[in-house]
């Protein structure tokens, strides 16, 4: 099944050894050479993806907000699921994912900030998630979790918190479609980006390139028109923004456009 949406094509197709896998890729990938502070050029072969996090959306007008996000040119909808245990906040569940699925054709990027994510994954897949990201800190057997999730027909990701070392996920880099670097401690929207996490982005990009991995490198937390270019220079290619989009003074669509425009100098 192919569902057209802005900037990407969603394909669900059997993949040898992995069952049905959801593949999300740009329609017109381009080669990008990103200059970093250390003078090394970070090679990226795909266009950047903007993921609008509904954590900062007005839930009384969620459908309208999703349409504005799509009109502004966002690529994904990012949905932060928090259980009040792994992080101190309790947020949204499968009914919100189902509502988003009805309201937009954009891929739904579900980020599980929960204990025991394996028990919840099937329900979120059934609700319409296109990708599921779990935290390495919350999973005892990461390889098994990623493989079982992939067999359910979605893209898989692994996230790590600011203080979690890259070594915690290094053995699983070949098993994931996406690595999410938390650039704030998870739990609250509107926090400022932790500067030290940008070096982690750089080191992860180096390791992904050395391994020949095609995994996307996502940043989440404090991403706005000031910080997104810095993350791009370090090798990030998926940018999650909540307040930076939904809190924009000129509206949601303008927030998306401003964020994309801010990346152009970093990718020139």
Please list the active-site residues.
Answer: 80, 220
List Cα–Cα distances, 164 to 118, 127, 181, in angstroms: 20, 30, 10
H/E element holding 67? helix 62-72
Alpha carbon distance 117, 96 (integer Å): 17
Q: Is 246 left (phi over 0), alpha (psi -120 to 50) or beta?
A: alpha
In angstroms, rounded to a whole number, what is the distance separating the alpha carbons of residues 235 and 215?
Answer: 12
Task: Estimate the crossing angle of helix 62-72 against helix 252-267, to 10 degrees.
Answer: 30
Smallest CA-to-CA distance from 70 within 51, 83, 88 is with: 51
What number of CA atoms fall less than 13 Å from residue 267's CA on the CB side? 21
Three-state DSSP at 219 gives strand
Write the DSSP symbol of residue 87: S
Question: CA-CA distance, 193 to 124, in Å (whole number)?
Answer: 28
Q: How far from the centroid of its chain's Cα atoms is residue 140's Cα? A: 22
Q: Which H or E run contains 72?
A: helix 62-72
Distances (CA, A) of 49 to 6, 9, 56, 233, 250: 11, 13, 19, 14, 21
């Amino acid at each position: 099944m192919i569902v057209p949406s802005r900037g990407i094509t969603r394909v669900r197709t059997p993949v040898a050894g992995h069952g049905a896998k959801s593949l999300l890729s740009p329609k017109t990938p381009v080669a990008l050479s990103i200059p970093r502070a250390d003078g090394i050029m970070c090679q990226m072969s795909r266009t950047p993806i903007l993921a609008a996090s509904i954590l900062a959306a007005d839930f009384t007008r969620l459908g309208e907000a999703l349409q504005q996000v799509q009109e502004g040119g966002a690529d994904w909808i990012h949905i932060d699921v928090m259980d009040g245990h792994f992080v101190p906040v309790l947020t949204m569940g499968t009914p919100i994912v189902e509502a988003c699925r009805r309201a937009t054709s954009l891929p739904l990027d579900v980020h599980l900030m929960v204990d025991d994510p394996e028990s919840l994954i099937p329900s979120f897949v059934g609700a319409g998630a296109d990708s599921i990201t779990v935290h390495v800190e919350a999973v005892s057997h990461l390889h098994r979790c990623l493989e079982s999730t992939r067999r359910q027909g979605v893209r898989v990701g692994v996230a790590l918190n600011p203080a979690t070392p890259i070594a915690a996920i290094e053995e699983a880099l070949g098993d994931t479609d996406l690595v999410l670097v938390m650039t704030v401690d998870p739990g609250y929207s509107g926090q400022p980006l932790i500067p030290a996490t940008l070096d982690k982005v750089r080191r992860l990009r180096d390791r992904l390139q050395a391994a020949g991995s095609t995994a996307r490198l996502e940043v989440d937390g404090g991403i706005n028109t000031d910080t997104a270019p810095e993350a791009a220079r370090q090798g990030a290619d998926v940018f999650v923004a909540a307040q930076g989009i939904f809190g924009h003074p000129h509206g949601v669509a303008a927030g998306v456009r401003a964020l994309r425009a801010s990346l152009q100098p970093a990718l020139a």
